[in-house]
Amino acid sequence: MKKPLLSLIPFLAACAGEPPQNIGVQNGKLSSCPESPNCVSSNASDDTHRIEPIAANLDQIKRVLLGLNEANIISADSNYLHAEFTSRIMRYVDDVEFLYDRTAEVTHVRSASRLGYSDLGANRKRIESLRKELNN
């Protein structure tokens, strides 16, 4: 006898994980990445986690995010934006943060998985895809 699809709902909900406690701007920067390779940040200094900031402002980034089905903007103000990205099949949630630096005219970014150890490069690919979309 097949189990009903409803029996999968608790499992899929668990894939979302709890929102991390270190979301937001702390001491003028986005939080550091954990040691696990499932995070990228423009504030990181090591090659595993380092990614370049985005040459765009938050209004430009927000326009791109609003066109993405997997993105959900959680909070935004004049220099900070937090979005959640949900994977299509397993419903994993990643937290993506943007902090606009008015002086340098770039947006710092941090993209991190809530669960697991490796993301198989998903967070880096996401940010590079956003960067490419902004350049079009």
Q: Which residues have C-beta within 8 Å of that of residue 19, sequence separation ≥ 6?
A: 95, 114
Q: Average the pLDDT over 44-53 and give the result.
A: 97
Predicted structure pTM score = 0.86
Confidence (pLDDT) at 136: 74
Q: Average the pLDDT over 131-136 and give the result.
A: 91
Summarised one tens digit per residue, pLDDT across range 82-132 is 999 998 888 899 999 999 999 999 999 999 999 999 999 999 999 999 999
Tell me the domains of the chain and their CATH numbers.
30-135 (3.30.310.80)
Residues 22 and 29: their CA atoms lie apart, in Å, by 11
Q: Average the pLDDT over 22-32 and give the result.
A: 93
The encoded tokens of residue 37 equal: 């390779």
Looking at the chain, the whole-number percentage of residues with pLDDT higher than 90 is 78
The overall average pLDDT reported for the chain is: 89
Confidence (pLDDT) at 16: 63
Band (pLDDT 50/70/90 cuts) for residue 55 is very high
Do residues 39 and 114 touch, judged by C-beta distance below 8 A? Answer: no
